[in-house]
């Protein structure tokens, strides 16, 4: 493979990551916009629920529907259509004059975000399938897209200071810009055929790998739950307990982003074969245990809170590319179906993490410890799958 082809594939991975980054940013930033929306539309404390719940419910419901609707479509070609629909739903949110219209727009955003997500993940799988650099590409994707939840704290704050509607406009413009880039890049990526989206792979349910696919999804659930719980817990502690602004809190997550990038780089360079992936995944979850243990001690010093996010960031940077790669690479399913399953696992983890953080009690801390334990056990299970592939 020539250097030009490798660069084109890597650029395609970056563009796909940018699309997913925008979806994550939209999903995360709305929590910061809720007070402004509540004041503008006289919603009070109900604003957060009215903005978050319709999106999340539509997202989960739409995943299987999108798989059925797009099962015979090349995800690379379907992506611009569903992404433009997501951008239009964001515009509808920006123009919403009433509470009902805003709730409808958020529901449409959730549904189109689900369709866009599975097309992104399926296209990522097809672009990187069978390539020696697949692990590196997944590390790049996880680093870029995963930064959306943290960057939201930086982007939404200044925009919301002008108007919460500008955040919706920013999402729409960002998605449309990504689609222009994708149209240019995808046409230059070799090996993409019109029937790539519905190529059926061998299905052997007797395979130990097929029987153990759920372990990879359990790892995805655990990693996303830990990320959501830790970010929400630290964000609320910094803003409510210590009076930090949303922008300052966002900057406080800089070390987490740096640590996540370091973990992803380590995966890209060191995970040579199943044995290397096994060792890295277990090390990543031990880092998550360390960070969560510090947070469970409920420290009052902001410096300690931020320091605790460093091992969590490293663990996430290691776990995401390895677990996502394994979940998408499972045999016996089409690319879109695997992508939908991964999307469900991610959303389930984020929901679990949000519930744990919202409880804000001793029970929540115990639940967080349970999530970490499940993550460690799942890491060992995925490692067993890795050994079975040899």
**Contact of 287 with 281, CB cutoff 8 Å:** no
Q: What is the mean pLDDT of the chain?
A: 75
- Give the pLDDT mean for 216-222: 80
- Give the pLDDT mean for 6-30: 83
Query: Residue 242 and residue 252: Cα distance in Å, rounded?
Result: 12
Position 272 pLDDT exceeds 70: no
* pLDDT tens, residue by residue, 22-77: 888 887 776 667 667 777 887 766 666 777 778 878 888 887 888 787 777 788 88
Q: Which two tokens stand for residue 84?
A: 């433009």
Q: Which of 80-94, 134-148, 173-187 has the lowest mean pLDDT?
A: 134-148
Q: Which two tokens stand for residue 38?
A: 């509540």
Q: Which two tokens stand for residue 194?
A: 């019109």
- CA neighbor of 255 nearest in space, from 291, 293, 285: 291
Position 331 pLDDT exceeds 60: no
Q: Which two tokens stand for residue 167?
A: 């955040």
354 or 349, higher pLDDT:
349
Our CA angle for 169, 174, 176, nearest 5°, is: 100
- The most confident of the ranges 52-56, 96-100, 150-154, 162-166 is 96-100
Q: What's residue 64's pLDDT?
A: 80
In degrees rounded to 5, what are phi and psi of residue 194?
-60, -30
Whether pTM > 0.85 for this model: the answer is no
Domains with residue ranges and CATH for the chain: 1-199 (1.20.1250.20), 204-390 (1.20.1250.20)
Query: Residue 92 and residue 89: Cα distance in Å, rounded?
Result: 5
Q: Which of 11-20, 97-106, 207-216, 286-295 has the lowest mean pLDDT?
A: 207-216
23 or 380, higher pLDDT:
23
358 or 366, higher pLDDT:
358
Our CA angle for 216, 69, 347, nearest 5°, is: 35
CA dist 82 to 108, 111, 291, 327, Å?
11, 10, 38, 23
CA dist 37 to 16, 58, 98, 166, Å?
30, 20, 11, 12
Question: Residue 206: exposed, middle, or buried by beta-carbon count in 10 A (0-12, 13-18, 19+)?
Answer: exposed
Give the helix/strand (H/E) hosting 223: helix 213-236
User: Residue for token digits 């409510």?
Assistant: 240
How many CB atoms lie under 10 A from the CB of residue 113?
30
Query: Residue 200 and residue 16: Cα distance in Å, rounded?
Result: 23
Position 383 pLDDT exceeds 90: no
- Give the pLDDT mean for 268-292: 76
- Give the pLDDT mean for 154-161: 69
Position 10 pLDDT exceeds 90: no
């Amino acid at each position: 493979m020539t250097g030009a082809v490798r660069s084109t594939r890597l650029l395609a991975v970056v563009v796909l990551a940018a699309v997913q980054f925008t979806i994550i940013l939209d999903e995360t930033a709305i929590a910061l916009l809720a007070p402004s929306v509540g004041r503008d539309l006289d919603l009070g404390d109900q604003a957060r629920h009215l903005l978050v719940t319709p999106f999340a419910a539509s997202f989960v419901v739409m995943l299987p529907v999108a798989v059925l609707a797009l099962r015979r479509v090349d995800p690379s070609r379907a992506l611009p259509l569903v992404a433009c629909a997501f951008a239009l739903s964001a515009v509808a949110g920006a123009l919403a004059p009433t509470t009902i219209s805003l709730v409808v727009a958020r529901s449409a955003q959730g549904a189109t975000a689900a369709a866009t997500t599975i097309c992104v993940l399926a296209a990522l799988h097809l672009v990187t399938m069978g390539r020696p650099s697949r692990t590196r590409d997944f590390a790049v994707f996880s680093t870029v897209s995963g930064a959306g939840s943290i960057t939201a704290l930086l982007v939404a704050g200044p925009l919301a200071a002008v108007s919460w509607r500008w955040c919706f406009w920013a999402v729409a413009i960002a998605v449309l810009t990504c689609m222009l880039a994708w149209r240019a890049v995808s046409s230059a990526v070799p090996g993409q055929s019109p029937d790539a989206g519905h190529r059926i792979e061998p299905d052997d349910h007797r395979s130990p790998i097929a029987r153990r696919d759920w372990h990879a999804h359990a790892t995805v659930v655990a990693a996303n739950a830990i990320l959501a719980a830790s970010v929400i817990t630290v964000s609320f502690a910094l803003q409510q307990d210590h009076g930090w602004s949303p922008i300052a809190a966002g900057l406080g997550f800089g070390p987490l982003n740096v640590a996540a990038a370091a973990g992803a780089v380590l995966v890209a360079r060191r995970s040579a074969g199943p044995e290397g992936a096994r060792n890295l995944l277990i090390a990543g979850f031990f880092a998550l245990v360390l960070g969560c243990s510090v947070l469970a001690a409920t420290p009052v010093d902001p410096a300690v809170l931020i320091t605790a996010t460093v091992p969590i960031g490293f663990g996430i940077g290691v776990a995401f590319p390895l677990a996502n790669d394994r979940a998408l690479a499972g045999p016996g399913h089409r690319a879109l179906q695997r992508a939908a399953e991964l999307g469900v696992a991610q959303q389930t983890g984020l929901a679990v993490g949000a519930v744990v953080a919202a409880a804000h009690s001793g029970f929540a801390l115990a639940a967080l410890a349970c999530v970490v334990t499940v993550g460690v056990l799942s890491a060992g299970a995925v490692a067993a799958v890795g050994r079975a592939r040899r």
